[in-house]
Amino acid sequence: MINRTVRYPDRTTQAKLLLTYQTSLLEQPVEILGNPALSLTIISNVPDCAFFAYLEDVAPDGTAYHLTEGELRAIHRKIGANPPYTQLTPYHSFTEADSQPLTPGEATEITFGLLPVSARVEAGHRLRLSLAGHDEGTFARVPEAGIPEWHVLRNTGHASWIDIPVKAAVT
């Protein structure tokens, strides 16, 4: 067993370009163990686009560390009923038969999982969710041309949420 902390580069610069949401200061340390799941109610101006979600640990000095991430192309948002394997997050088949283009201007729910994570976040830190529509250098842009625009709805009629499997950390 390797018992060391993995640290990705500070994500402060990237976060300034993204849509972000963060918690208040954590009063006690927490452990995140498992697969976070994210549900966004969105309105888009295009029939297909991509969603990238990054969960980050923000230290008191503002330094931000990557904890986990998840991504989903909007046309693959249909949640399947019978995954062929044990799935701890919403299951998407990614088949053409399950493809569902967005209706521009219509509120739509996009639900997907983030990769599993095991991390300790210290008291005085914050958790931050950063959202993007593209991850340059890693994935092809969707759509390839034009300027996709989407808005996250977060009100009583159209909720958006993230479920993070946390527990109080053992001190």
> Could you tell me which of 167, 164, 154 has the C-alpha nearest to residue 53?
164
Using pLDDT thresholds of 50, 70 and 90, give the confidence band for residue 136.
Answer: confident
Domain ranges of the chain: 12-168
Architecture per CATH, 12-168: Sandwich (2.60)
**pLDDT exceeds 90 at position 98:** yes
More confident residue, 133 or 137: 133
**pLDDT exceeds 80 at position 6:** no
pTM, entire model: 0.90
Dump pLDDT digits (tens) for 26-85: 999 999 999 999 999 999 999 999 999 999 999 999 999 999 999 999 999 999 887 777
In three-state form (DSSP H/G/I as H, E/B as E, the rest C), the secondary structure along the chain is: CCCCCCCCCCCHHHHCCCEEEECCCCCCCEEEEECCEEEEEEEECCCCCEEEEEEEEECCCCCEEEEEEEEEEHHHCCCCCCCCCCCCCCCCCCCHHHCCCCCCCCCEEEEEECCCEEEEECCCCEEEEEEECCCCCCCCCCCCCCCCCEEEECCCCCCCEEECCEEECCC
Q: Output the average pLDDT for the chain.
A: 90
Q: Name the β-bridge partners of 128.
A: 22, 56
